[in-house]
């Protein structure tokens, strides 16, 4: 399995603003997943984007994937204080790679 | 709620104690996982079970002993732990263990070893 590298390591924004987090990885993938972890709700799966997809939406979340650049981004629009959490990208090679390898994540703080 | 529950949520134990962590998933999944999350370190996979058989053991010390009696339940038996074993222990499940699966995590058990 491989680890994604999130950037920036920390991000602080005002409530209502948009937050963008980036992820880079090294080898070819089958899909890439984003997870969120905060103290109240634990580690939660947010969205999965497959290698043949370029963009995916889920509520206020928008994920893009550029396999040629081996990168992904997560955009949270109209942020809320409850979005304060650490966000992790997890690249997956597919069959046989059931292990999720988490990096250090991006720590997002949304200030009310 | 993710459909994965863990008990207890917090546990304090001495180095000579024996305790067990319990995980239960209500999602009808076939694969279950134990992860360890230490302070300021990335999540580490410990064990993977698929259809009640262990398919992965990531060089975990024998003082951690997993048990999967059925596809809905997973235990982690602890004995003679060390203070450095203090961490958040997360359980997860997925539909299968074939790879590329979304994993659903429980809230974790925060363990403190004195």
Residues 6+ apart with CB under 8 A from A59: none
- Count how many pairs of residues, chain A against chain B, have C-beta atoms within 8 Å: 64
Ranking A92-96, B26-30, B44-48, B76-80 by mean pLDDT, the lowest is A92-96
Q: How far apart are CA A49 and CA A32, in angstroms?
A: 5
For chain B, positions 49-108, list CB contacts with chain A under 8 A. Answer: 50, 55-56, 90, 92, 94, 97-108
Residue the block writes with tokens 């497959």: A50
Residue B14 pLDDT more than 70? yes
pLDDT of residue A41: 66
Q: What is the DSSP string of A1-43?
A: ----EEE-SEEEEETTS-EEEEEE-SS--SEEEEEEEETTTEE
Q: If chain A, 112 residues long, is cut into consecutive pieces of 10 residues, what is the mean pLDDT of each piece?
A: 87 97 93 88 89 96 97 97 95 71 91 94
């Amino acid at each position: 399995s491989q680890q994604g590298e999130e950037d920036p390591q920390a991000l602080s924004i005002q409530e209502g603003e948009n937050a963008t987090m980036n992820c880079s990885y090294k080898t070819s993938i089958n899909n890439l997943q984003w997870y969120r972890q905060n103290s109240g709700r634990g580690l939660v799966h947010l969205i999965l984007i497959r290698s043949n997809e370029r963009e995916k939406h889920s509520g206020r979340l928008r994920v893009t994937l550029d396999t040629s650049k081996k990168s992904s981004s997560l955009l949270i629009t109209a942020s809320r204080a409850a979005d304060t959490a650490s966000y992790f990208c997890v690249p997956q090679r597919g069959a046989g790679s059931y292990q999720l390898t988490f990096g250090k994540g991006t720590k997002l703080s949304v200030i009310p | 709620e993710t459909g994965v529950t863990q008990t207890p949520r917090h546990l304090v134990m001495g180095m000579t104690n024996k305790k067990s962590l319990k995980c239960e998933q209500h999602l009808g999944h076939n694969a279950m996982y134990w992860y360890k999350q230490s302070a300021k370190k990335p999540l580490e996979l410990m064990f993977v079970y698929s259809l009640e058989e262990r398919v992965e053991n990531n060089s975990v010390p024998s003082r951690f002993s997993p048990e999967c009696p059925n596809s809905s339940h997973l235990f982690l038996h602890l004995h003679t732990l060390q203070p450095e074993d203090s961490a958040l222990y997360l359980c997860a499940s997925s539909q299968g263990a074939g790879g590329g699966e979304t994993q659903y995590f429980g809230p974790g058990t925060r363990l403190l070893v004195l």
